[in-house]
Amino acid sequence: MLLQKSRLSVLKSVLLLLIGLGLVIGIRHLGQPSSIDLSFHSLLFLLGLGVLAIAYGLRSTLLGILAILFTGLGYWSGWSETYLNPESSLIDQIRLQMPIVAAILFFPLAYRCRSGILFGLSAIAVCSALISSLAEIVTKGSVLPPLVLGLPAALLWSYDDAIWTLGRQEKRFQPIARRLAMLYLSGLFFCLSFQWTWGNHAWYSILSGWRSLPSVVFLAAIAIGQWLYLLIAMRRCNWQTITIGSMIALYGIVQIWHLRVQPIPLFAVIVFNLMLAMLSIVTIRNSLQTGERWTFWSGITFLILQILSRALEYDLPLRSLIFALCGTGAISSGLWFERYRLRSLSKFPRMEDLGGTQSIASKQKISV
């Protein structure tokens, strides 16, 4: 009976999706005689909004994922036209504020469907749209571009469900947001650990041309408010939050000093290599507490990438030996982690449920 209802729900979602697609195509054809020119990316964007409305009505995770994908395709396929064309349509004006528009449209659906996948995709949509807004100001000497690049990590790590669920203390999506923050910071620090990224750059910007500035300012204000709430609500010293906050603050200080006070390329490379190594070690340590494979392999991957990239960048001797040691170390650490995980899980009884098996140890996870 449950399987039959599930199939009917999927069939209903597909039918409604096809109806929505037909409506958008109909709007396209009706608009041609009346000189209403809708581009392909505008159609995709409208289709995403239509599917999103259906997803809210049916509380459908599948349609929510499709809505985010269609909206994202409509946004990125028309990205150059939106940001580089001084004359923009109404849809382009909406897309210019896509960071806050995506947050308003997608996050409530994730809570309505109680879907971690929807929340993760929504967070990625907001952060990617926020970074894309730099298209109008990345020219040469302001600190604004690097500071905006650090904003997604500040937003994700300080995210707390209690702020957006009227005080309910359940931490449904906070662990997901913090995992994404760790991944984003690792990727950002990895890019900044190369010496060539600290060349003779002099970013400058003209704020009058930054049409997506309202969304950036609004999200920056939200990040500040979330961090204040996080520090006030923190009942005891949380070393992870202090560590991540210190890394984000140090990132901003190094960028401001390098661009505004005095170029410090060598010091910056050392700082970001150290922070990347520390972040990898913290991630591996958390994996030993939570028993999560992806956390362990994320830390191992970034640590090995850092070692290999430094060996290639600085033409270190015995590079083949370094490659061999990294490969051997990855295999050995993976085998050790699996044995450690099995020993940890064997200490707890297992509970059977309809969704499969779940260990008590997995319910005692510490959020990353």
Contacts of 137 (CB under 8 A, 6+ apart): 144, 145, 203, 205, 206, 207, 209, 210
SS3 letters for 351-367? Answer: EEECCEEEEHHHHCCCC
Q: How confident is the model at residue 57 (pLDDT cuts 50, 70, 90)?
A: confident
Q: Give a yes or no: residue 329 inside a domain.
A: yes
Report CA-CA distances (Å) from 150 to 74, 106, 144, 147, 167: 26, 22, 10, 5, 27
3 φ/ψ angles, rounded to the nearest 5 degrees:
-65, -40
Instruction: Tell me how long the chain is.
Output: 368
Residue 257 structural domain: 97-351+358-363
The angle, 0 to 180 degrees and rounded to 10, between the axes of the packed helices 98-113 and 40-58 is 30
Assess if residue 55 is contained within a domain: no
pLDDT band at 148; cut points 50, 70, 90: confident
Q: What is the CA radius of gyration of the chain?
A: 23
Choice between 341 and 2, residue whose per-residue pLDDT is larger: 341
Q: Does 27 reside within a domain?
A: no
Q: Does residue 179 carry a pLDDT above 70? A: yes
Per residue in 315-339, pLDDT (tens digit) is 666 666 666 777 777 777 777 766 7
In a domain, 130, yes or no: yes
Asked whether residue 13 is assigned to any structural domain, the reply reads no
Number of CB atoms found within 10 A of residue 232's CB: 8
Residue 35 belongs to some domain of the structure: no
Is residue 288 assigned to a domain? yes
The closest alpha carbon to 110, from 159, 151, 42, belongs to: 159
Asked if residue 109 lies in contact with residue 86, where contact means CB atoms within 8 angstroms, the answer is no
The type of residue at 261 is V
Lowest mean pLDDT among 74-78, 228-232, 273-277, 293-297: 293-297
Cβ neighbours for 316, distance < 8 A, ≥ 6 positions apart: 310, 322
Does 291 have pLDDT greater than 80? no
Between residues 341 and 367, which one has the greater pLDDT?
A: 341
**Structural domain includes residue 158:** yes
Higher pLDDT, 343 or 60: 60
pLDDT range class, residue 265, cuts 50, 70, 90: confident
Structural domains of the chain, count: 1
Q: What is the pLDDT of residue 316?
A: 62
Q: Quick one: tokens of 39?
A: 């581009």
Average confidence score pLDDT of the chain: 77
Nearest Cα neighbor of 232 from 160, 280, 283 is 160
Q: Is the pLDDT of residue 107 over 60?
A: yes
Q: State the average pLDDT over residues 54-78.
A: 88
Per-residue confidence (pLDDT) for residue 247, from 0 to 100: 93
Could you give the angle at which helices 144-157 and 116-132 cross, rounded to 10 degrees? 170
